[in-house]
Amino acid sequence: MIQTTENEITIDAAGVSFRDLNTKLREKVACGAEKIVLLNVCGQRYIGTDLNSPVAINIVGTPGNNLGSFMDGPQITVYGNAQDGSGNTMNDGQIIVHGHAGDITGLAARGGNIFVRDDVGYRAGIHMKEYEDKKPALVIGGTAQDFVGEYMAGGVLILLGLNLKQGEHHRANYIGTGMHGGIIYIRGTVEEYQLGKEVGVAELTEDDYRVLGEYVGDYADHFDCDAKQIMNSSFIKLYPRYLRPYGRLYAY
Amino acid sequence: MKTYLPSRFMVERDKDRCIRCQVCVNQCSFDAHYYDCDDDTIRAREDNCVGCHRCVSFCPTNALNVRQNPLEYKSNFNWTSQAIEDITKQAETGGVLLTGMGNDKDYRIYWDHLVLNASQVTNPSIDPLREPMELATYLGRKPNEVEVDSDGKLKTKLAPQVRIEIPVMFSAMSYGAVSLNVHKSLARAATQMGTMWNTGEGGLHPDLYQYGQNTTVQTASGRFGVHAGYLSAGRIVEIKIGQGAKPGIGGHLPGEKVSAEVSRTRMIPEGTDALSPAPHHDIYSIEDLAQLVYAMKEATNYTKPISVKIAAVHNAAAIASGMVRAGADIVVLDGLRGSTGAAPKVIRDNVGIPIELALAAVDTRLRQEGIRNQASIVVAGGIRNSGDVAKAIALGADAVYIATSALIALGCHVCQQCHTGKCAWGLCTTDLALTKRINPDIGARRLSNLLRSWSHELKDILGAMGLNALESLRGNRLHLRGIGLTDKELEILGVKMAGS
């Protein structure tokens, strides 16, 4: 462990178990660390899980599943790929992934932001919700697999498709299936058959462009690209057609 | 569309006794009574009556009786009145039949085919009124062996344990499904009696954080109201995979029930449906379960036992073995007769296995694999009295969960209308006019009384057997005998036939 400045700490995670690593993180955060750099991270799960202060955690390597689950405040930056379940049931904070992220990224998140530079796996943003001033956002620079935005109950999901080649489309099916809240913005188009049956398609309003512009601006800041160029393309908006999709399913 | 459904109940009003005070009119939340001012009389809309007997209980002159409609279809073993009326209702609505409470079909209740032992001559019975009796139970993972240092101090680091004074806990009922006053009653009674109550998947109201030491906080597939503060507020964290009344099915709390307070606790906007997906989308395998168990352990810094609840299904024994290996400190089995605030009737009535068989199978399997000590077993689903509790303990349970019994203690008459949100007893509703019918002080007293009665009775049962600690009965199937069971049933239950 290298202590570079009083509040900035570097930890070599090589060969350290997730339990020991998280114990160390907890200790350091309790002692007032403001920035922690984790080197040689290789598959350790649950990093940042129970932290609730605005500490910055920079991860070099590949963190394991459930990165920042239940997290309430920290800002995690991953220089590498993240695995499954990043931001699971997150309450607040930020996860920035300079690479890909796996399945169920942002599962049931209630607040905070997740930025993924490249692609995400299956069921990203599933069952994200919003509540009072809490509104989670998942911004995906690349593309997503099937069931993206499934069961969404709130928040904003943005799919930019920046790594798609000319003429290439998003391939996800069942987009937003079961969606009953929140908004999905997609750069480019998707075919009707790719959408869940609870999803409607609309053009963006001025308000939409303002919201989208802010998140794209943040994305461009994080990953050093041109926000204007991204915004200078066509977007569609997906919205839930019913707030109570299963209201008529039952006989009382 | 004209309904072809006959009314299920008849309201009988004794005109001589009725003083037209309209208590029945005001008490009925289903509008089955009304005052006819032209004739200055009270009349009934029998179609609306659900048979909850709220009016009968509150009529000051005993003028009312509510009976099942004696209407008899032509007798037929296949086409029962239930079968006919279910089809009729579906033809008129096109919907999935919803229902409340537990399975009411006549599947065999194994508790009623098991009898307990008592001491006669060869060993003395014990009088619990004058001799110490131990009902205390510790829930949580037990070590394979313990090491003690030369000073007699324990060297082995124990996993977190939760002590309960009576092996009966209140099962999960979410705020939203039941009212805040029910939660308050449960929390206070659990605190008074030294046991646990369970939040269900609906978060914990801020007023109830003070009862945290006696609270099991639940997280299910919807993750409603789950945040770090909630997880650390409870003494046990329970991951709900399934529920006995609806194995494999998620939950749909209708928007009408998501009031301002419920919204605050569930952390979703007011009036929106709270949809719990059928699976946890981060759990598709035992390995994934291990991941969520350890996410919970990390989130609570290994200070609390993590409980995992499943519905008792065909492969419960193998699944439970996987759960223990995945790190569950408490395994909860919810049987075929487990109750619900709302479930599709076809699922409630047809899916799952009786809890007695599941319990025996799971306990046997965990023993065979040498991992029984690694988790406590808690069973739920239709426990009606202290006799059932004693039999469950003897079959291998560490403790039981009760929910329907607790609601009955609060006034529930098991009319199975929980899904309508109109509970006249003020239990399974968020309508503020109805929820006021439960006074948490009185509710807590009724629940504490129930636990106190059962606790006395359990001591009587133990004393009669010549045992002075519940621990000696736990998994001690020699104290059970079966009656009217086949060889195979006896084999699965691991008990001998009465007389042998």
Segment B22-30 mean pLDDT = 97
Number of domains in chain B: 2
**Which pLDDT tens digit goes with each residue over B53-78?**
999 999 999 999 999 998 889 999 99
The CA distance from A154 to A133, in Å, is: 12
Instruction: Using the predicted structure, report yes or no on whether residue B330 has a pLDDT greater than 90.
Output: yes
**Which pLDDT tens digit goes with each residue over B242-281?**
999 999 998 888 787 888 888 889 988 888 888 888 899 8
Instruction: List the beta strands (DSSP E) in chain A.
Output: 2-5, 8-12, 35-42, 56-62, 72-79, 92-97, 113-116, 137-140, 153-159, 181-187, 199-202, 235-240, 250-251
Across the interface, do A22 and B255 touch by the CB < 8 Å criterion? no
Please name which of A128, A250, A26 lies closest in space to residue B249, comparing C-alpha atoms: A250
- Does A47 fall in a domain? no
The CATH number given to whatever domain includes residue B31 is: 3.30.70.20
- Does A31 fall in a domain? no
The CA distance from B422 to B32, in Å, is: 12
Q: Which two tokens stand for residue B97?
A: 């039949």
Under the banding of pLDDT at 50, 70 and 90, the label for residue B131 is: very high
Give the pLDDT confidence score for residue B178 in this predicted structure: 95
- Does A79 fall in a domain? no
Hey, which residues 277-316 in chain B have their CB within 8 Å of chain A? 277, 281-282, 291, 294-295, 298-301
- Cβ-proximal residues to B447 (8 Å cutoff; 6+ apart), any chain: B170, B185, B186, B189, B193, B406, B409, B410
Of B93, B294, B344, the CB nearest to A46: B294
Of A26, A70, A244, the CB nearest to B228: A70
The CATH number given to whatever domain includes residue B445 is: 3.20.20.70
- Does A50 fall in a domain? no
Of B97, B231, B272, the CB nearest to A70: B231
Nearest chain A alpha carbon to B252: A246
Q: Which positions in chain A touch B231 (Cβ < 8 Å)?
A: 70
Q: Which positions in chain B touch A248 (Cβ < 8 Å)?
A: 95
Across the interface, do A251 and B97 touch by the CB < 8 Å criterion? yes
- Does B129 fall in a domain? no
* Per-position b or e across B378-417, b if 16+ CB within 10 A of its CB: bbbbbbeebbbbbbbbbbbbbbbbbbbbbbbbbbbbbbbb
- Does B126 fall in a domain? no
- Does A175 fall in a domain? yes
| Mutation for B interface: A129, A148, A174, A179, most B CBs within 10 A | A129
Give the pLDDT confidence score for residue A58 in this predicted structure: 97
Q: Are the C-beta atoms of B16 and B41 separated by less than 8 Å?
A: no
Q: Please tell me the distance in Å from A252's CA to the nearest CA on chain B.
A: 6
B59/B164 same-domain check: no
Segment B174-194 mean pLDDT = 96
Give the pLDDT confidence score for residue B258 in this predicted structure: 86
Segment B348-373 mean pLDDT = 98
Give the pLDDT confidence score for residue A6 in this predicted structure: 67
Whether the CA torsion B244, A66, B299, B291 is positive or negative: it is positive
B310/B194 same-domain check: yes
Q: Map tokens 């009217």 to a residue.
A: B484
Q: B127 in contact with A at a CB cutoff of 8 Å?
A: no
The CA distance from A43 to B27, in Å, is: 60
- Does B128 fall in a domain? no
B75/B206 same-domain check: no
Q: Are the C-beta atoms of B202 and B177 separated by less than 8 Å?
A: yes
Cβ neighbours around B104 below 10 Å, total: 14
The CA distance from A66 to A60, in Å, is: 16
Q: Is B51 helix (H, G, I), strand (E, B) or coil?
A: coil
- Does B321 fall in a domain? yes
The CA distance from B46 to A63, in Å, is: 64
Across the interface, do A69 and B97 touch by the CB < 8 Å criterion? no
Q: Please tell me the distance in Å from A23's CA to the nearest CA on chain B.
A: 8
B379/B455 same-domain check: yes
Nearest chain B alpha carbon to A65: B291
User: Starting from the edge strand earliest in sequence, which strands make up the sheet with B496-497, in order?
Assistant: B114-116, B480-482, B496-497
Q: Please tell me the distance in Å from B347's CA to the nearest CA on chain A.
A: 13
- Does A207 fall in a domain? yes
The pairing of strands B96-99 and A250-251 is: parallel
Nearest chain B alpha carbon to A85: B282
| Mutation for A interface: B157, B298, B416, most A CBs within 10 A | B298
Please name which of B224, B241, B253 lies closest in space to residue B323, comparing C-alpha atoms: B241
Q: For B27, what's the count of Cα atoms within 13 Å in the CB-facing half-sphere? A: 17
Q: Are the C-beta atoms of B58 and B24 separated by less than 8 Å?
A: yes
Instruction: Using the predicted structure, report yes or no on whether residue B500 has a pLDDT greater than 80.
Output: yes
Q: Is A83 helix (H, G, I), strand (E, B) or coil?
A: coil
The CA distance from A214 to B321, in Å, is: 49
The CA distance from B242 to B249, in Å, is: 8
- Does A122 fall in a domain? yes
Q: Please tell me the distance in Å from A45's CA to the nearest CA on chain B.
A: 8
Give the pLDDT confidence score for residue A247 in this predicted structure: 76
Q: B89 in contact with A at a CB cutoff of 8 Å?
A: yes
Across the interface, do A45 and B275 touch by the CB < 8 Å criterion? no
- Cβ-proximal residues to A165 (8 Å cutoff; 6+ apart), any chain: none
Across the interface, do B291 and A45 touch by the CB < 8 Å criterion? yes
Cβ neighbours around B120 below 10 Å, total: 10
Give the pLDDT confidence score for residue B182 in this predicted structure: 98
Across the interface, do A88 and B295 touch by the CB < 8 Å criterion? yes
pLDDT in tens, chain A (252 residues): 555 666 889 999 999 999 999 999 999 999 989 999 999 999 999 999 888 889 999 999 999 999 999 999 999 999 999 999 999 999 999 999 999 999 999 999 999 999 999 999 999 999 999 988 899 999 999 999 999 999 999 999 999 999 999 889 999 999 999 999 999 999 998 999 999 999 999 999 999 999 999 999 999 999 999 999 999 999 999 999 987 878 778 887
Q: Residues, chain A, total?
A: 252
Nearest chain A alpha carbon to B420: A252
Segment B93-109 mean pLDDT = 95
Under the banding of pLDDT at 50, 70 and 90, the label for residue B230 is: very high
Give the pLDDT confidence score for residue B71 in this predicted structure: 85
| Mutation for A interface: B90, B272, B296, B347, most A CBs within 10 A | B272
β-strand partners of A153: A181
Share of chain B above pLDDT 90, in %: 91
CA torsion A44-A49-A51-A54 (nearest 10°) is: 80
Q: Which positions in chain A touch B273 (Cβ < 8 Å)?
A: 180, 243-247
Please name which of A54, A5, A1 lies closest in space to residue A23, comparing C-alpha atoms: A1
Across the interface, do A70 and B227 touch by the CB < 8 Å criterion? yes
Nearest chain B alpha carbon to A131: B268
Instruction: List the beta strands (DSSP E) in B194-267.
Output: 197-198, 215-219, 236-240, 251-253
Give the pLDDT confidence score for residue A121 in this predicted structure: 97
Give the pLDDT confidence score for residue A3 in this predicted structure: 59
- Does B2 fall in a domain? no
Of B97, B298, B420, the CB nearest to A50: B298
Domain range holding B32?
9-95
- Does B100 fall in a domain? no
Instruction: List the beta strands (DSSP E) in B84-135.
Output: 96-99, 114-116
Segment B161-166 mean pLDDT = 98
B88/B154 same-domain check: no
- Element spanning B172, H or E: none
The CA distance from B421 to B110, in Å, is: 32
- Does B491 fall in a domain? yes
The CA distance from B381 to B103, in Å, is: 9
Domain range holding A143?
100-240
Q: Which two tokens stand for residue A72?
A: 């309430």
Q: Which positions in chain A touch B284 (Cβ < 8 Å)?
A: none
The CA distance from B185 to B190, in Å, is: 8
Q: Are the C-beta atoms of B108 and B488 separated by less than 8 Å?
A: no
Cβ neighbours around A3 below 10 Å, total: 11
- Of the candidates B95, B121, B151, which is a domain's last residue? B95
β-strand partners of A186: A159, A236
- Does A112 fall in a domain? yes
Q: Distance of CA B83 to CAs B48, B96, B107, B328, Å? A: 20, 14, 17, 41
B236/B91 same-domain check: no
B61/B162 same-domain check: no
ipTM of the complex: 0.90
Nearest chain B alpha carbon to A124: B281
Number of domains in chain A: 1
Q: Please tell me the distance in Å from A11's CA to the nearest CA on chain B.
A: 19
The CATH number given to whatever domain includes residue A158 is: 2.160.20.60
Q: Are the C-beta atoms of B270 and B258 separated by less than 8 Å?
A: yes
Please name which of B405, B431, B427 lies closest in space to residue B417, comparing C-alpha atoms: B427
Instruction: Using the predicted structure, report yes or no on whether residue B499 has a pLDDT greater than 90.
Output: yes
Nearest chain B alpha carbon to A52: B228
B266/B385 same-domain check: yes
- Does B122 fall in a domain? no
User: Starting from the edge strand earliest in sequence, which strands make up the sheet with B376-380, in order?
Assistant: B168-170, B399-402, B376-380, B330-334, B306-311, B236-240, B215-219, B197-198
Across the interface, do B282 and A110 touch by the CB < 8 Å criterion? no
